[in-house]
Structure formats: structure tokens, C-alpha cells
Amino acid sequence: MVLGHEVVGIVLRAASNRSGPSAGTAVAVHPATPDGDHAKYPQNRPNLSPGCTYLGSAAQFPHTDGAFVRYAVLPARMLRTIPPGIPLKTAALIEPASVAWHAASRAGDIRGKNALVIGSGPIGALSVATLKRAGAKEITAVDLHEKPLEIARALGATRTVQATDVEAINATEADVVIESSGNHRGLASAIRGARRGGRVIMVGLLPTGDQPVPISLPITRELELIGSFRFNDEIDDVIAALADGSLVQEGPFGADNSQIVTNLEGVCL
């Protein structure tokens, strides 16, 4: 299987029916193809399509090849024009940023709230940036390693905590938690770090099957555990936010945050 769903590039040849961008246009790619059977999922949530294919995904069989190639033939409906001023290196973050944006939208109104992000890899770091843009008052980022925490601080985290510091995580009492570690211990930390009545958004994809998590706490604290899977049209919002500078703003790495992008690529790829 060819990998690759964080796809950007330049159109070499436009669609013959002129339905997409013209040759020479810089584009990002929405990697999903829903199955169209709306009886099995809400029509406005195609990411939940049970037969959906995704570039570079093994979720369906046969697997769907990605676009980690020099040339790819893709349907015009997948393409989104990248506005001038966004380098392709930065635009490569559009797909994972859309995942983070979708997760934040599942959390509801974030303005003025205390947020906690468990796992500060690419999705977690971009969740920090998205939460900041959405108006979170405080953002605590958690990870096992210092480099991801450094990136999280540059993107807007007001506090960082080592994943091994259980007491500090438990004391966070966050209104909203984004769990992006994809590990059952991370999910346990997310549950324990949420305040009573809080909301935990589960983005990190845990292995199939039963997972050992402290499920009594969501019951007694009336926590809301909410799944977040891929994204829908959030990709258009992400592109607009990158274009107007409201998603990744000027920070300690410079106005274009090129060092942040490089570091995120290093963590992700």
C-alpha cells in the first residue's frame, strides 16, 4: 500500500471536463471518498460513512493507496486551491490541521474555557493552535518529550506538563480535553484531567478491542466522552485561517513560523 494522505502539490493537467483547478494551481487534497449510502450515517457527517475510503488508509479492503508519489491522478472534487502566500511546506499541514479543527468543533464553544491536550505530536500541537484561535483561556499541553512541548508552547500552550506528572495532570480540571495520544494511558489521563461535567474529545485512535480505562470516573463526574474521526468541510476553514494568519500567528520562531512547520514535519514524518 502506498502511504500518504497529507497531500499538497501543483496541478500538472486539469480535469478534461474543466471541473477543477487549472494547470499550475497549487492545491491541497481532501483524502476522503464517502460511500454515499446516507441511510447508514447522518447526511451532514460523511466522515462517518462506513464504506468511506481515505487516501493512504488500510481501513477498507482492498486498501486505498495514498499519494506519497511524484505524480497522482485524483478526482477534481478532492482538490482545494491554496491561496497565494501559503508555501507548500506549510500547506502540507492542512490535512492534520483539519483533523484538529474537527476535534475542536466537537468540543463546542471553547471561548474562555480551560483546555487540556494529551499528546503533543502533530495533531496535538495543531489542536493547541486551533483551541487558541477558538478563544480558550488556558491551554495545558502534555507529552512525554520536551520537543513536542516546546512546539506546543510556540503554538499557544500557556502551560506544559510531562506525561509522567500525574498529579499535575489531575489538578488541571479542564473544561475541555483533547486526547490525541492514541494510548489508553493517555485516555486515562484525559479522563482524570477533566473537571466534573467536562467534555473529553477522543481523537487519538486506540487499537481495536477493549481498553483498560477508568470508566467509573466519567460516570460519577458526568463527563462527556465524544469521538472525533477525520473531518468534513473543516479543510476549507483551515485553509482560510492559514491564509489570514489566524491559525498559526507570529510567534517566537518568526512571522511565518517556518521553524514550527519544520519541527512538526520532523515529529510527524
CATH architecture of the domain covering 1-81: Alpha-Beta Complex (3.90)
CB of 114 closer than 8 Å to CB of 131? no
C-alpha cell at position 228: 472525533
Residues of the chain with pLDDT under 70: 249-269
Sign of dihedral through CA atoms 245, 31, 229, 183? Answer: negative
* Distance (Å, whole) CA 156 – CA 158: 6
Residues of the chain with CATH 3.40.50.720: 97-227
Structure confidence at residue 249 (pLDDT): 56
CB of 107 closer than 8 Å to CB of 133? no
Structure confidence at residue 38 (pLDDT): 81
Structure confidence at residue 106 (pLDDT): 97
CA angle 14, 17, 22 (to 5 degrees): 25
Residues of the chain with CATH 3.90.180.10: 1-81
* Distance (Å, whole) CA 89 – CA 183: 29
Topology of the domain covering 97-227: Rossmann fold (3.40.50)
The radius of gyration computed from the CA coordinates of the chain, to the nearest angstrom, equals: 19
Instruction: Please name which of 108, 120, 116 lies closest in space to residue 183, comparing C-alpha atoms.
Output: 120
* Distance (Å, whole) CA 73 – CA 77: 12
pLDDT 10s digits, 75-91:
999 999 999 999 999 99
**H or E segment and range at residue 9:** strand 8-10
Structure confidence at residue 252 (pLDDT): 38
Sign of dihedral through CA atoms 169, 170, 174, 177? Answer: positive
pTM: 0.91
- From first CA to last CA, the distance across the chain in angstroms is 17
Structure confidence at residue 3 (pLDDT): 95
Do the strands 8-10 and 114-118 form a parallel or antiparallel pair, or are they unpaired? unpaired
Residues 203, 35, 50, 240: what is their CA dihedral angle, to the nearest 10 degrees? 10
Alpha-helical segments (H) within 82-145: 88-91, 94-106, 122-133
